Amino acid sequence: MPRVPEVVRKVAVSALSLDLNNFRFAVEQPDESMAFNYLFENEEVTAVAYSLLREGYTTNEVPLVVEEGGRYVVLEANRRVSALRALRDPSLVPSHRHQLETLLRRHQADADELPDEIYVTVYPDRQTAAPVLARLHIGEDKKRWGLDEQAKFVLAQLAGGADVKTLKATLTGIKDVVRLARMGRVREALQRTTFTDPAIREYALGQDLKMSAFEYAYRDRQIRPLLGFEFDDEGNVTSRPESPQQIAVLERVLRGFQTGELSTRRVLNAKKGEPGRAYDELVDELRSLSGVPGPAPSPAAVGAPRGDGSTGPALSGSPKAPLAAGASNDAAPGAPAPREDTPSVQSTVGPNNPDTKGKLVVAVDYSSAPAGLQKRFIELRRIDIVGHPAAAAMLLRSVVESSIKYHYTSRGNHQVSGTIGQVVPTLANDYLRLRSLARSIQLLQNALSPRDRPGSGSWFNGASHDPTMVVKSQDVRDAWQELEPLVRFLLQPPSPQTP
């Protein structure tokens, strides 16, 4: 291999610029101040500053730079250079300025000993420096890059003209170039996606969403087609979320990662037995959002007799993969990618009767609701109505009551407030004329016989306040089945036809 053309120079510390597209950043930083803040907040640069004051600046590790726009941009040693520059000018790091100034007051003499000039190794361009950076940060020499950082690095090489085959041959420290390329392409695709929820868009494009966690969703055999993601053999995105249904599924999944609900350990990577119920419920919900009917489970999946008269669990894959999301923000570097599920066995057996399930079948789209209401829907989907029917009834009341209030506040009417008995009259005045909603509203008005039937205002009040009332799981199912059409309507986006 030919020797890399390089030159060592002594340059002023003030002439060194941080790399705004440093691979440690999830997304490119808008300016150097933000880059300083990020490094101090997320990369333990304060500890580096302490080390410089205590031990001085050593020259055994020379920063790697390229000359761009008349300045030297630091490709390697951004942490050390940012610490050095910040100790000379704490105003460069607004988020840690006070801490740095306090540190300098205590160690001013040590700070005065820090150099004004340091030696750097200058490379002609980023492409030439790439193999050196890979050896440093994907091997064991330096602080190892995580999967997201490696993915960004790989994408930068592809953008610079390299191909996957070349990267496989030259970047031997990377175990799966295609996987990392796919991660980078997905992040690019998210930047081009038209989100309906600004908060989710901010999360998707920010540094908190880790591709090493999100890939458990976009590579899952059942979830991937609902999201709309497809890839070629080199990790390029050939299809991404574009339809309203795909965007709804994407935002629901991202919201799950944002809130910590979707842990790759507890949900996306636990698909067998009792722990797998959360995954199955998630897939059912995503299918409902996308308008795709769920597949018929096999006899074994529902405990039905097999051909030999025995019963048993469904045969399915059980991926073994590193932790992420709820367990850790990043999978172990170099660990295998999550395996895609093996195809499920199909049969003519239909889905279980909702009245035989231990949890409510909640398939309404609550993705546009406020976070508090969304979390109540999530709890409603998960609560064991057999073991905790009274708690489920009170939670259902909260969901219905809050959905009514959200419906009106989202349309500019903030006067609808109070208990369920106080908000239902306004609901009846506006929508009782609609045949599809009349029964649900009449039920809440106690206008159907008997007055205390499940789902009525009297039934909800009794479940919450009457010490003699016994709530049964079937009562909760009946109440939800009666009120689901109303709740589905209440959560629809505002339109000119609704107040």
CA separation for the pair 235, 151 (Å, rounded): 11
Question: What pLDDT shows up at residue 79?
Answer: 87
Domain ranges of the chain: 7-127, 179-352, 364-490
**pLDDT tens, residue order, the chain (499 aa):** 445 566 888 999 999 999 887 756 656 678 888 888 888 887 788 888 988 888 888 776 788 898 888 889 998 888 889 999 999 999 999 888 998 998 898 888 888 889 999 999 898 888 777 777 766 655 444 555 667 777 767 777 777 667 777 777 766 566 788 888 888 889 889 989 999 998 899 999 887 888 888 988 898 888 999 999 999 888 888 999 999 999 999 999 999 888 888 766 667 766 565 556 788 888 888 988 887 665 544 433 434 333 333 333 333 333 333 333 333 334 444 444 554 443 343 434 445 566 667 888 888 888 888 999 999 999 999 998 988 999 999 999 999 999 999 999 998 888 888 888 888 999 999 998 888 899 999 999 998 888 889 999 999 999 999 989 999 999 999 999 999 999 999 998 875 544 4
Token duo for residue 376: 């109540």
Question: What pLDDT shows up at residue 407?
Answer: 92
Question: What pLDDT shows up at residue 299?
Answer: 39
The residues that bridge with 18 in the sheet, in sequence order, are 74
CA separation for the pair 324, 266 (Å, rounded): 10
User: Beta strands 16-18 and 71-76: pairing type?
Assistant: parallel
> pTM here?
0.39
| Number of separate helices (H) and strands (E) present in the chain | 20, 7
CA separation for the pair 479, 456 (Å, rounded): 8
Q: What one-letter code names the amino acid at 202? A: E
Order the strands of the 117-123 sheet from edge to edge: 7-12, 117-123, 64-68, 71-76, 16-18
Nearest-10 Cα torsion for 312, 316, 317, 318:
-50
Residue 439 backbone phi and psi in degrees, to 5: -65, -45
Contact assessment for residue 186 and residue 214, using Cβ atoms and an 8 Å cutoff: yes
Question: What pLDDT shows up at residue 331?
Answer: 43
Q: Which residue from 427, 405, 428, 401 is spatially nearest to 416, judged by alpha carbons?
A: 405
The residues that bridge with 239 in the sheet, in sequence order, are 230
Question: What pLDDT shows up at residue 308?
Answer: 37
Residue in the structure block whose two tokens are 């340091």:
118
The residues that bridge with 17 in the sheet, in sequence order, are 73
Question: What pLDDT shows up at residue 2?
Answer: 47
Question: What pLDDT shows up at residue 246?
Answer: 93
Contacts of 483 (CB under 8 A, 6+ apart): 396, 400, 440, 443, 444, 455
CA separation for the pair 475, 465 (Å, rounded): 16
